[in-house]
Amino acid sequence: MNHVYICDYIRTPIGRYGGSLSSVRADDLAALPLSALKDRLPELDWEAVVDVIYGCANQAGEDNRSVARMALLLAGLPETVSGTTINRLCGSGMDAVLAAYRRLALSEGDLAIAGGVESMSRAPFVMAKAGSAFSRSAKIEDTTIGWRFVNREMHRLYGTESMPDTAENVAEDFGISREDQDAFALRSQTRAVAAITSGVLAEEIAPVSLPQRKGPPVIFDTDEHPRATTAEKLAALRAPFRDGGSVTAGNASGVNDGAAALVLATEDGIARHGHWPGPRDRKAVRASGPCAVGIRPDRTERGLRQPGPGGATAAWSAGRRRPCEPERRRHRPGPPLGHVGRPDRRHGGTGAGPRRGAAGAGHDVHRCRSGHCLVS
């Protein structure tokens, strides 16, 4: 099998729910990082791209009908380049990277693009068609987050708990206290704000020009969701999801908007297209029960860890099963940047976040001179 490398990476800033990116269509949002890569890499033979694979969890609105294909055409990539869209909910962006990795590792090509998009601000309301004439059972569902069109048998077998409820389950199962979660959230928010202030995250962001009704366009170039906070502010937040619960708006992920894309290549592709190799990809896929969403793989040991954007309980549960010093968790944590996207910070599946974690971790492998990094 071929070795596969992450060669380049770019993303939009992450906009909060109803924030700066809420006026951008989901398919246009998906095209932005591809356009940025195209402008940055004019020497690249885009005809040689074997596939553009995007993760997207919603796909109920402007991101319908394979948003990956729509995005690459909107970005001006050759019509001969194929595109496909993957939905593994919260792991959609990560799965897009793994799918591109597999294609290149198995010699199906030398060059691929993996990415993801989510516009939770623009997720539509939907309504099922009537099952019979003169039906009075019409119901409008909000596709921003959570269950919709629930299968009764699925509800009977597993229930239909919300993601905050499953986070409460994880906290109970692993004995993760409110204090633990708030301490993790405070450290994560502090590191995210420090990374923004220092300019570390600016290295991976493609600024977005936002047209205005009056006046010149506004340039959006900084993540909106992270914010400075204190232990006292976090402790004062109520836990609304369960009596005596511990999951709050401060220690869970937010609802946001964003898109990202990265270039993967084999060694032959690097030699042919002149890209400097970045971190090498390895993959593994595991699942947890539907009532414990957010449990991370633990059968590995790596130099750095990038926890996913599932909130404090997800990161703490992995740490309980496989201890890891907080210093080895990156300054680019999941919860402050959110499940791309979320403002109430409740959970939901998204396409761009995990892919941002994979490529962003690669930057830190180089910066911290670490040999390996685990992204979940």
Most confident of 8-22, 322-336, 341-355: 8-22
pLDDT at 342 over 70: no
| 97-116 pLDDT per residue, tens | 999 999 999 999 999 999 99
Domain assignment present for 88: yes
pLDDT, position 131:
86
Cα–Cα distance, 4 to 31 (Å, whole number): 24
Domain assignment present for 252: yes
Cα–Cα distance, 159 to 114 (Å, whole number): 33
Number of CB atoms found within 10 A of residue 233's CB: 13
pTM (predicted TM-score) = 0.83
Domain assignment present for 10: yes
The arithmetic mean of pLDDT across residues 120-132, rounded, is 94
Domain assignment present for 244: yes
pLDDT, position 363:
58
pLDDT, position 348:
36
Domain assignment present for 129: no
Work out the pLDDT band at 236, boundaries 50, 70, 90.
very high
pLDDT at 149 over 90: yes
Structural domain boundaries, residue 9: 4-124+155-375
Which of residues 357 and 58 earns the better pLDDT score?
58
Domain assignment present for 119: yes
| Residue pair 93/228 in contact by the 8 Å Cβ criterion | no
pLDDT, position 328:
54
Query: What mean pLDDT value characterizes the chain?
Result: 85
pLDDT, position 137:
85
Between 65-69, 246-250, 282-286, 315-319, the lowest mean confidence (pLDDT) is in 282-286
pLDDT at 275 over 80: no
pLDDT at 75 over 90: yes
> How distant is the alpha carbon of residue 235 from its chain centre?
27
What is the domain count for the chain?
A: 1
pLDDT, position 52:
99
Residues 6+ apart with CB under 8 A from 332: 191, 192, 195, 200, 201, 306, 357, 360, 361, 364
Domain assignment present for 210: yes
pLDDT, position 321:
55
| 21-66 pLDDT per residue, tens | 999 999 999 999 999 999 999 989 999 999 999 999 999 999 999 9
pLDDT, position 344:
30
Cα–Cα distance, 80 to 52 (Å, whole number): 11
The arithmetic mean of pLDDT across residues 349-360, rounded, is 56
| 190-217 pLDDT per residue, tens | 999 999 999 999 999 999 999 999 999 9
The arithmetic mean of pLDDT across residues 84-89, rounded, is 97
Cα–Cα distance, 25 to 260 (Å, whole number): 15
Nearest to 191 by CA among 350, 306, 294, 340: 306
Q: Report the CATH number at residue 94.
A: 3.40.47.10
The arithmetic mean of pLDDT across residues 148-169, rounded, is 95
Which residue type is seen at 86?
A: I
Domain assignment present for 67: yes
Q: How open is the CA angle 44-46-52, to the nearest 5 degrees?
A: 125
Work out the pLDDT band at 136, boundaries 50, 70, 90.
confident
pLDDT, position 185:
96
pLDDT at 237 over 60: yes
pLDDT, position 273:
85
pLDDT, position 369:
54
Cα–Cα distance, 347 to 311 (Å, whole number): 8
% of residues, the chain, pLDDT over 70: 73
| 290-335 pLDDT per residue, tens | 666 656 555 544 555 555 555 666 666 655 555 555 555 555 445 6
